[in-house]
Amino acid sequence: MRIKALTIRILRQIIRDKRTLGMLIFAPILVLTMLHLVFNGDSYIPKIGFIGIPETMVENMDLSDAEITNYDNTHDAQVDLLAQEIDGYITLTSGVPSIYLEGSDPTVNGETLRWIQSTFASLQESLTEDLEVSYLHGSSEMGQFDYFGPVLLGFFVFFFVFIIAGVSFIRERTTGTLERLLSTPLRKWEIVSGYVIGFGIVTMIQSTIIAAYTIYVLDMMMQGSFFYLLLIILSLSFTALTLGILISSFANNELQMIQFIPVIVVPQVFFSGLFNLETISNWLSWIGPITPLYYAAEALRDVMVRGFGWNEIYMEICVLLGFSALFMILNILALRKYRKI
């Protein structure tokens, strides 16, 4: 009854605040669309250096989709590679081509390799198998939009729910309405529950729209079930919500809440699988398993990329709900500052 009243009030406030409602839905759509266009845009024309490739070979190549520069020696090519004048170069070592890539951008790597492979394959079939590839930076394991899309989807839900819940709870404290709520017989767990349900409904709508947009309009890979996707996102939003409310008790105003973003939200991105987790230094790798986004990203990728079902994701969902339960208890304890019972 009282929780329902609180839930209805929160929904009314959000619906009335059109700009926030718009931000919840259109900001992630805008950013995801931009990322989609950036990563899946027109095909990139690679800039490739040739060192000592025989004239007869070059004449037989289709050079229309690449910019070719000829070098006399490896040193000149390396200088240009370092200056990012070219994306990679090819030399022939005893008849077998070796490829050396600049390597910092996965899109460029992919395009360059694809061009080289298709071009050389048309010349000599035996070469396609054992092309030797070396990198100046990075590696061939770096992901694409399909690979980190699920992480971004999770990130946006987490980010916006965290901020909006945190800020609305700060507003509740600074305007004195929290004190007023506690001067009624409302119990502390009822306040936290009302917030969780109210924002849970909003997030459900938000993530359905965003996920549907990325999957059906942006054509992001989706192998598993949409229902599981929503389940993961809902669990993640509970975590974001309860953490946002908890963090807001350490902030005195909205600006201070925003200051928590680089401390609480951004580091999670590094450990959520946007970057290869195995390459993270050992002394930092313990951070991943204590961040909620790590589990959400893994589960989302399981469903969206690998097409897995309940058996593979229930552990991650349990961990997320465990985080939420922990934060809820801490929130109830934090509210003791305002009323002992």
Binding mask 276-315 for another protein (x = CB under 8 A): ----------------------------------------
Hunting for tokens 């005893």 — which residue is that? Answer: 94
Q: Is 340 in the site for another protein (CB under 8 A)?
A: yes
Q: Is 9 in the site for another protein (CB under 8 A)?
A: yes
Q: Is 19 in the site for another protein (CB under 8 A)?
A: no
Q: Are 150 and 305 in contact (CB under 8 A)?
A: yes
Q: Are 305 and 147 in contact (CB under 8 A)?
A: yes
* Of 4 and 137, CB closest to another protein: 4
* Of 9 and 306, CB closest to another protein: 9
* Of 1 and 83, CB closest to another protein: 1
CA distance 194 to 189: 8
CB of 194 to another protein, least distance (A): 10
Q: Is 338 in the site for another protein (CB under 8 A)?
A: yes
Among 17, 76, 146, 312, binds another protein (CB under 8 A): 17
- Please choose, out of 10-18, 119-127, 270-278, 311-319, the segment that lies near another protein by the rule CB under 8 A: 10-18
CB of 323 to another protein, least distance (A): 29
Q: Are 244 and 196 in contact (CB under 8 A)?
A: no
- Please choose, out of 3-11, 26-34, 70-78, 120-128, the segment that lies near another protein by the rule CB under 8 A: 3-11
Q: Is 36 in the site for another protein (CB under 8 A)?
A: no
Q: Is 181 in the site for another protein (CB under 8 A)?
A: yes
CB of 202 to another protein, least distance (A): 15
Among 16, 281, 283, 311, binds another protein (CB under 8 A): 16
Q: Is 180 in the site for another protein (CB under 8 A)?
A: yes
Q: Is 164 in the site for another protein (CB under 8 A)?
A: no
**Strands of 67-71's sheet in order across:** 67-71, 47-51, 88-93, 96-101, 132-135
Q: Is 18 in the site for another protein (CB under 8 A)?
A: no
Q: Is 333 in the site for another protein (CB under 8 A)?
A: no
CA distance 136 to 163: 39
- Please choose, out of 2-10, 77-85, 272-280, 318-326, the segment that lies near another protein by the rule CB under 8 A: 2-10
Among 36, 79, 177, 222, binds another protein (CB under 8 A): 177
* Of 263 and 341, CB closest to another protein: 341
Report 187-226 residues binding another protein (CB under 8 A): 187
CB of 34 to another protein, least distance (A): 31
- Please choose, out of 11-19, 103-111, 115-123, 242-250, the segment that lies near another protein by the rule CB under 8 A: 11-19
Q: Is 95 in the site for another protein (CB under 8 A)?
A: no
Q: Is 11 exposed, middle or buried (0-12, 13-18, 19+ CB in 10 A)?
A: middle
Interface ranges with another protein (CB under 8 A): 1-2, 4-6, 8-9, 12-13, 16-17, 175-177, 179-187, 338-341
